[in-house]
Amino acid sequence: MAQQPHSHDAAQGEEHIHIVSPKIYLAILLALLVLTATTVGVSYIDMGILNPVVALAIACIKMMLVVLFFMHVKYSPKLTKLTVISGIFIFLGLISMTLADYISRAWGSW
Amino acid sequence: MTHGDLAKSGEASHMEHPSYQRHHFESVAQQFDATNFAMWLFLLTEIMFFGGLFTAYLIMRNWYYPAFVEASHQLSIFWGTANTTVLILSSFTMAMGVWSAQMRRKGMLLLFLGLTFFLGLVFLGIKGIEWHEKWEKYHVPGIRYSIQDFTNPAADPEVHSQYPDDKPLGLDMANKTEMYFFLYFAMTGMHALHMVIGIAILAFMIVRARADAYTQGHVTFVENFGLYWHFVDIIWIFLFPLLYLISRHQ
Amino acid sequence: MSTATVVSLPDQSTARIPKMNFLTKENGLLSWLLTGDHKRIATLYLISITFFFFIGGALAGLIRLELLTPQSDLLAADTYNKVFSMHGLIMVFFFLVPSVPATLGNFLIPMMVGAKDLALPKINLLSWYLYIVAGGMMLYTMAVGGVDTGWTFTTPLSTHYLNTHVVSAGLAVFVAGFSSIFTGLNFIVTIHKMRCPGMTWFRLPLFVWSNYAASILMVLGTPVLAITLVLVVLERTVGIGVFDPAKGGDPLLFQHLFWFYSHPAVYIMILPGMGVVSEVVSTFSRKRVFGYTAVAFSSVAIAVFGFFVWAHHMFIMGISNYSSLVFSLMTMLVAVPSAIKIFNWAFTLYKGSITFETPMLYSIGFMGLFTIGGLTGVFLASTGTDIHLTETYFVVAHFHFVMVGGMLMAFLSGIHFWWPKWTGRMYPEKISQLAALTTFIGFNLTFFPQFILGTLGMPRRYAAYPPEFQVLNVFSTAGATVLGVGYLLPILYLTWSLKYGEIAGDNPWQATGLEWQTQSPPLSENFPEIPIMDHEAYDYEWFERHQQQEVASV
C-alpha cells in the first residue's frame, strides 16, 4: 500500500540524506570480491617481505571502499570524515609508538 | 497561538514534528545528524578496543616469527576466504537494506535484513567449524593444547602437504605457537561476540520492520545499525590477512 | 581582603524558589530512576561520587595514620597495600574521572550551548547505571578483601603473584570505563550538533571547550583500558601468557596498553577542572578570559598531545632509550599548553575587578597549586631526574598537587559557583571561605613535605620506612587531619543551605553565560524557547546593557 509521505515529513524528514543507488553498491560488492580473490591469490606467491605489505594494502583498499560507500562517508558531512580520520590516526599512534619501543630495544628478538 | 505560547504553556506541540522526533531535538534532521554522529563515535571506541589486540598480535608475531608462521598454517584458507566472502556479501545486503528503508519498501527491507541475518549465522557456523577443528587437533591454548604438530610437522599430513617446507620447531619456539592461538581465539572470539550482538539486533529489527517501523521516513536505526555491521566487517577484512594470509611463506 | 562582593540577591523577604523547576516537575522514586533529564542525572551523580569520595577519603586517613610511625604497626604490610590500592582505584575511577564531567558537565553543558538536553538522554542514564554497577562491584571487591596491586594493576604481580581479587576489581573498572565513554560520547555529539542559533564555536564558554577536549580523551582512550583489563582477566583465569615471560609474553605490554589510557586519564580528570577555573576567574574579575582562542586551543592541544606521552610512566621499566627520549620530549611539550592556561588566567586577573567569594578562593588556590604540581611534573618528565624520583613520594606529591590541589579544588570551586543555579539557594559565605582556607592550609601541610620525602628517597607504597623520615610524615598526617576537616565542612553547610540558604535568584554572581539567564533551579526543559546567542562569551558590556533593560523580579 503506497503511503503518502506526511507533509511535515517532507519538510522536516530525513530526505536530506543522499540515497546511494544499488548500482553503486553492486559495483563495490564486485570490487570487494575481486580484491578478496586477489589477496588470496597473491598470498600464494612468495614475495618475501612484500607479502604482508601487499596483503595489508589490499585490506586498506577494501576498508576504504566499505567506509566510503557502504557506510556513506563519501556522501556524509565533513565532520564524519574528520571523525573517521581521527580514529584511524589514534589507532595508528597506539600501534606505532608501542611498536617503536619494541623495535628499538637492544635485547629484543629482532 | 504561536509556537512560543504553546511551548510556554508547557505543552509540546505534536502537530509541529513527527512522532519519532524526540522533544529535545529541534528537527528530525538534527536528530538524525546527532544519532549518526554518535554511532560513529561509538565505532571509534571499537577501533581502539580492537587496537589493543592488534598491538599485542603485531608484537608477538615479530618476536616469535617462526612459531607464528607455522601456527598460521594450521588455519584453513578455504574457510577463511569463505567467511570473508560471506561477510562482504552481508555488508552488501545490509547496505541494500538501508536503501530499502530509505525507499520505504518494506518487502525489500525484510528480504535484505533477513539475508544479512542468515549470512551472519553462516559466518558463525563456519567459525564454529574452524574452532571445532582446533579443538580436535589440540590447538586450544590453556585448555587443550599440544605442540606436537609443530615439533614434528610430518605428523600432520593434511597441513604438511600444503606446506612441505615447514621445519620442525625447537621446543622453546614450538611452545610459542600457543601464544599465536591465544591471540587467534581472542581476536576472532571478540569479533564473533560482536557478530552475535549484531545478529541479535538484526532479529529485533526484522520484528520491528514487519511493523512498519523503518519504512515511514524514519531510517535512523537501520542506517546506524548498518554502520555497526560494516565496521564488524572491516575488522574481519583485517583479521583475515593478518591471521591467515601473511605467513604463507617463511 | 576587601569585603567587596559581586553577589546580587533578590529581596529575601519576597523571594521564593520558583514553584516549577526540574526538581519539582515530577515526584517519586521512579521519576528519578528513569529520568532522561540531564540535571536530575547530574544530581544522582553528585550524590554517588560524594559517597565514593568519602570512602576514598577514609582509606586515605588510614594510610596517613599508618604512616605516623616508621613501623608497619597499625596495618600489616599486605593490608596497607590493599588500603592504598583501593584508595587509588576509588579516587581515580569513582571520583576524579567522573567528578566535573558527570556532575557539572551533565548539568551545565546543554544549558551552556542553548539546548534542552544532551543529545542522548537514555545513554546518559545508562552511563549513571553503569557507574552504580561498577561502584557496587568495587565495593564487593573491598568487602571480600580488596586488591593489593596498586591502582595500576602492574603485571606480572597482578596476573601471577597474587591471589587477591584482581578479577573483580578489574571488571569493576571495565564497567566504570564504559560509563565514562558514554558520558564523553554524549558531550561530543551535543557540542557539535545541538548548539543554539548564533552559538558559534568561539562563543562557547571555555567550560564547554574543556569538557569537549576531555570527552575526546574519554572516547578514544578508555576502550584501550577496557581491552587491557580483559586481557588481565583472561591471563588470570585461563592463563594465556601475553604478559607472562615464561610463556613468551611481555609484562611491559600491559604497561604500554594500560598507560595509553591512564595518561590521557589524568587529562580527563584535569581539563574539566580547568574549564571551571576559566568560568570562575572571569566572573570574579568581571573581565573576559584573556586570550579566549589560546585557552580553547590549548585544551584541545592538551588532549591531542596527551595521547603521545604515556611511556613517561615506564622510564625505569625497561623500555628502550630511544623510546624514553621520544616520550620525554613529548611530555615536555604537553606542559606548554597547560602553562598557557595559567598565563591566560593570570592576565585575566590583571586589571580586573577582583572579589574573593568562595569559588574564586578555590580557583586561585588551583592556579598556585596546579602550577607547583605541573612544574614538578617536568622534573619527572626529564629521564635523568626521573630515575631518582620515580616510585618515591615525589611522584605521590606531584600527582596529589595536580589532582587534589588542582582538580579537587576546581571541583569545589565549581560546586560552589553553580550551587545557587542547581538548588536555588546560596551557601553560607563566611564558613565556606573558612573551609576553603582550611583546605588550602591542610593540603600544603599534607603534601609539601612529601616532595622533600621523595627527594630524600622515601619509596612510595611502603607501610614501613626508615625512622629518619618520620618527622616529615608526622607533618603530613597532621595536614591530612586539617584537610579532612576542610572537606567535611562543605558537606555540612551545603546540606544546611538546601533548607536555610538565602534564595539566590537567577544570577547571583552577575555572570554571563546562558545558564545564568534561566531561573534557579532551572526548568526541566532548561529554556521555554531555544535562545538565540547574539553576543560573545564573557561579554560583560552586553551583560550591563541587558541588566539595564531587564525588570528584575523573582
Q: Least CB-CB distance to B59: which of C181, C219, C253? A: C253
Does residue C462 surpass a pLDDT of 80?
Answer: yes
Q: Is B82 exposed, middle or buried (0-12, 13-18, 19+ CB in 10 A)?
A: middle
Q: Give how far Cα A66 sits from Cα of A60, B226, C210, Å.
A: 10, 11, 34
pLDDT in tens, C251-300: 999 999 999 999 999 999 999 999 999 999 999 999 999 999 999 999 99
Q: Neighbouring chains of A at 3+ CB pairs within 8 Å?
A: B, C
pLDDT in tens, C176-209: 999 999 999 999 999 999 999 999 999 999 999 9
pLDDT in tens, C436-459: 999 999 999 999 999 999 999 999
Which pLDDT does position A8 carry in this prediction? Answer: 40
Q: Fill in the amino acid letter for C139.
A: L
Q: C249 near C204, Cβ under 8 Å?
A: no
- B191-194 long-range Cβ contacts below 8 angstroms, 24+ apart: B191/B232, B191/B235, B191/B236, B191/B239, B192/B124, B192/B127, B194/B46, B194/B232, B194/B235
Does residue C231 surpass a pLDDT of 50?
Answer: yes
Complex ipTM: 0.93
Tell me if B44 and C220 make a contact (CB, 8 A cut-off).
yes
C340 vs A106: which has the higher pLDDT: C340
Which pLDDT does position A28 carry in this prediction? Answer: 96
Which pLDDT does position B2 carry in this prediction? Answer: 40
Contacts C323 to A, Cβ<8 Å: 97, 100-101, 104
Element (H, E) at A9: helix A7-12
Mutation site, A4, A7, A9, A12, interface B, largest B CB count within 10 A: A12
Q: Does residue B163 form part of some domain?
A: yes
Q: Neighbouring chains of C at 3+ CB pairs within 8 Å?
A: A, B
Mutation site, A85, A88, A101, A103, interface C, largest C CB count within 10 A: A101
Contacts C185 to A, Cβ<8 Å: none
Q: C37 near C111, Cβ under 8 Å?
A: no
Does residue C79 surpass a pLDDT of 70?
Answer: yes
The domain tally of chain B equals: 1
Q: Which residues of C247-264 are buried (b: 16+ CB within 10 A; e: fewer)?
A: bbbbbbbbbbbbbbbbbb
Which pLDDT does position B12 carry in this prediction? Answer: 45
Which pLDDT does position A110 carry in this prediction? Answer: 45
Q: Does residue B124 form part of some domain?
A: yes
Q: Does residue B179 form part of some domain?
A: yes
SS (H, E, C) C56-76: HHHHHHHHHHHCCCCCCCCCC
Q: Using CA atoms, how far apart are residues C104 and C113, in angstroms rounded to an integer?
A: 14
Banded model confidence at residue C306, pLDDT cuts 50, 70, 90: very high
Residue B188: which residues within 8 A CB-CB, separation 6 or more? B127, B239, B243
Chain A residue with the nearest C-alpha to that of C330 = A97
Does residue A95 surpass a pLDDT of 80?
Answer: yes
Which pLDDT does position A66 carry in this prediction? Answer: 96
What is the distance of C-alpha B121 from the center of its chain?
A: 12
Domain C29-549, classified CATH 2.120.10.30, yes or no = no
Q: Give how far Cα A96 sits from Cα of B61, B65, B246, C293, C463, Å.
A: 15, 19, 19, 32, 39
The pLDDT of C105-128, averaged and rounded, is: 96
**Cell numbers 592576565 label which residue?**
C347
E strands along chain B, which residues? 139-140, 144-145
Tell me if C323 and A94 make a contact (CB, 8 A cut-off).
no
B195 pairs with which residues across the strands? none
Q: Tens of pLDDT along chain B (250 residues)?
A: 344 444 444 444 445 678 888 888 988 889 999 999 999 999 999 999 999 999 999 999 989 999 999 999 999 999 999 999 999 999 999 999 999 999 999 999 999 999 999 999 999 999 999 999 999 999 998 888 888 888 888 888 888 888 888 889 899 899 999 999 999 999 999 999 999 999 999 999 999 999 988 988 889 999 999 999 999 999 999 999 999 998 887 6
C523 pairs with which residues across the strands? C526
Question: In chain C, which among 185-204 make CB contacts under 8 A with chain A?
Answer: 192
- Terminal Cα distance for chain C, rounded: 32
Task: State what percent of residues in chain A have pLDDT above 90.
Answer: 65
Tell me if A99 and B55 make a contact (CB, 8 A cut-off).
yes
Q: What is the CATH number of the domain that holds B109?
A: 1.20.120.80
Residue A92 forms contact with C (CB below 8 Å): no
Q: C312 near C331, Cβ under 8 Å?
A: yes
Q: Does residue B59 form part of some domain?
A: yes
Does residue A16 surpass a pLDDT of 80?
Answer: no
B144 pairs with which residues across the strands? B140
Q: Does residue B17 form part of some domain?
A: no
Which pLDDT does position B1 carry in this prediction? Answer: 39
Banded model confidence at residue C309, pLDDT cuts 50, 70, 90: very high
Which pLDDT does position A46 carry in this prediction? Answer: 87
E strands along C181-233, which residues? none
Q: Which residues of C65-104 are buried (b: 16+ CB within 10 A; e: fewer)?
A: ebbebeebebbeeebbbbbbbbbbbbbbbbbbbbbbbbbb
Residue A99 forms contact with C (CB below 8 Å): no
CB pairs under 8 A between A and B: 163
Which pLDDT does position C151 carry in this prediction? Answer: 95
Domain ranges of chain C: 29-549
Residue C80: which residues within 8 A CB-CB, separation 6 or more? C63, C66, C72, C463
Which pLDDT does position B16 carry in this prediction? Answer: 66
- Terminal Cα distance for chain B, rounded: 79
Host domain of residue B86: 25-245
Q: Fill in the amino acid letter for C346.
A: A
Does residue A1 surpass a pLDDT of 70?
Answer: no
Q: Fill in the amino acid letter for C405.
A: G
Cell numbers for C349, please give them: 586577573
B66: distance to nearest CA of chain C, Å? Answer: 13
